[in-house]
A and B are shown apart, each in its own frame.
Chain A
């Protein structure tokens, strides 16, 4: 029993690392993804091509490979990052690419008539995006964003290869030391608890942003 308490305490510490990666990635990837989607939709060809290329690279290679690249390959060309920064860089660039595609499809699903109505009322493009288009896009992208966010909780476990003591790595360490499988079960319960909270939160958000639909 005492052992289990000790295990849980250690794993709570691991959970803190996991949550740190999760929240900071989300906080950075959402706005960067939004900007990337606007760039991807830009009429300025070089910008939209660049964004397409970036999205292609990020979605076309494994996140694990991207982590290893940032962690091991960048130092070779003289870019030294602290562990956590390296992990955050890879996660943010990767998730921003996925969010960019989600936002792009959301923005494109808004009927042309909304832009036209705003224009005939004298609204500028930034005003139209901020007041008319994006509030509707939020409603549309919430389900896929919710999906990606839950994926992110689980993907954070990939940082175990970077020798950072996240939830999964702590669990594995204890399992290897004590030859006891309980930490894996505890880890599963922890991940489930986090995704449960997220599922609930997104359900609330969907109801809030969908209140204009009958």
Chain B
């Protein structure tokens, strides 16, 4: 168990994050910290701001106030973002997996994986190919490299999406309800891939409704409601001994 303990290196720190959409405050001063190798699970009812919080990490949404630091370097400090180039460099350390997969439909599985390394990092096809093949075999889709996304099941598409994000060699992987758009029998294969990733000590932030997954795979669980963190703790504390009434009510409904 010793090697399962996270390093002390802080990979992601968000402090006092505030965000409003047309007058409605959806994040009311959130603080989170994720250490290297940790899997942070963010759960909560819909509309609690958990997806917005995740999307603030990689600038799909912009914060109104607060600071974001990735591996100790500021992406945003007290509400102000660093310049474009610096921001792009920092964002390159994160990878994102979406609820709707968002694979590029006009490209084959392999082309989806090669696209960003070849275009953004300007690597040659031969340079990326070994990594891409390795990632596809890791997610169990080596035999599908020439398929188009529309020819794959939702679960397979999501595994390709994970491989595509990993092809950019991110330090932190962000998952925005990765199994919410999947049939129940397909969520298992995606969660298995995520568990394997966690076992390799990838730093992960996962917004999810899968309580069983959060309980067993997370190093820390955060429960959000109405733009606030209501409760956080280790999966055991959180699921077995929730302190807040709001948490207890939520868990009663979910389990």
> Is residue B98 within 8 Å, beta carbon to beta carbon, of the partner chain?
yes
Is there contact, CB below 8 Å, between A120 and B100?
A: no
Alpha-carbon separation in the docked complex, A111 to B59 (Å): 18
A173 surroundings in chain B (CB, below 8 A): none
Is there contact, CB below 8 Å, between B148 and A212?
A: yes
- Closest Cβ–Cβ distance, residue A176 to chain B (whole Å): 53
B104 surroundings in chain A (CB, below 8 A): 114, 117, 132
> Interface size (A, Cβ < 8 Å)?
20
- Closest Cβ–Cβ distance, residue A202 to chain B (whole Å): 18
- Closest Cβ–Cβ distance, residue A128 to chain B (whole Å): 9
> Is residue B95 within 8 Å, beta carbon to beta carbon, of the partner chain?
yes
Alpha-carbon separation in the docked complex, A212 to B112 (Å): 13
Among A117, A136, A211, find the residue whose CB has the most chain B CB atoms closer than 10 A: A117
With A114-B102, A132-B104, A214-B150: A121-B115 Cβ-Cβ less than 8 Å: yes
> Is residue A123 within 8 Å, beta carbon to beta carbon, of the partner chain?
yes
With A122-B88, A212-B106: A113-B119 Cβ-Cβ less than 8 Å: no
Within 8 A of B (CB), among A116-166: 116-117, 119-123, 127, 131-132, 135-136, 139
Alpha-carbon separation in the docked complex, A194 to B19 (Å): 58
Is there contact, CB below 8 Å, between B119 and A123?
A: yes
Is there contact, CB below 8 Å, between B58 and A120?
A: yes
Is there contact, CB below 8 Å, between A136 and B106?
A: yes
With A214-B148, A214-B150: A123-B106 Cβ-Cβ less than 8 Å: no
With A127-B120, A214-B148: A120-B96 Cβ-Cβ less than 8 Å: yes
Is there contact, CB below 8 Å, between A123 and B102?
A: no
Q: B225-247 toward A: CB 8 Å interface, digit per residue (1/0)? A: 00000000000000000000000
Within 8 A of B (CB), among A176-214: 211-214
> Is residue B60 within 8 Å, beta carbon to beta carbon, of the partner chain?
yes
Is there contact, CB below 8 Å, between A123 and B150?
A: no
- Closest Cβ–Cβ distance, residue A142 to chain B (whole Å): 13
Alpha-carbon separation in the docked complex, A113 to B164 (Å): 15
A132 surroundings in chain B (CB, below 8 A): 104
Is there contact, CB below 8 Å, between B106 and A116?
A: no
Alpha-carbon separation in the docked complex, A139 to B26 (Å): 38
Within 8 A of A (CB), among B88-116: 88, 91-92, 94-96, 98, 100, 102-107, 115-116
Alpha-carbon separation in the docked complex, A212 to B107 (Å): 7
Kindly report which residue of chain B lies nearest to residue A110, judged by CB atoms: B105
- Closest Cβ–Cβ distance, residue A126 to chain B (whole Å): 11
With A121-B165, A122-B116, A214-B151: A139-B106 Cβ-Cβ less than 8 Å: yes
B103 surroundings in chain A (CB, below 8 A): 117
- Closest Cβ–Cβ distance, residue A213 to chain B (whole Å): 6
Alpha-carbon separation in the docked complex, A213 to B106 (Å): 8
> Is residue B168 within 8 Å, beta carbon to beta carbon, of the partner chain?
yes
Is there contact, CB below 8 Å, between A122 and B60?
A: no
Kindly report which residue of chain A lies nearest to residue B120, judged by CB atoms: A122
B92 surroundings in chain A (CB, below 8 A): 122
- Closest Cβ–Cβ distance, residue B162 to chain A (whole Å): 12
Kindly report which residue of chain A lies nearest to residue B59, judged by CB atoms: A119
A127 surroundings in chain B (CB, below 8 A): 119-120
A211 surroundings in chain B (CB, below 8 A): 148
Is there contact, CB below 8 Å, between B151 and A131?
A: no
B164 surroundings in chain A (CB, below 8 A): 121
Within 8 A of A (CB), among B9-59: 58-59
Q: B120-160 toward A: CB 8 Å interface, digit per residue (1/0)? A: 11000000000000000000000000001111000000000
Alpha-carbon separation in the docked complex, A121 to B116 (Å): 6
A120 surroundings in chain B (CB, below 8 A): 58, 60, 91, 94-96, 165
Alpha-carbon separation in the docked complex, A117 to B164 (Å): 10
Alpha-carbon separation in the docked complex, A212 to B88 (Å): 31
Kindly report which residue of chain B lies nearest to residue A120, judged by CB atoms: B96
10 contacts between A and B (CB under 8 A): A111-B102, A114-B102, A116-B96, A120-B91, A120-B96, A121-B115, A121-B165, A131-B115, A132-B104, A212-B107
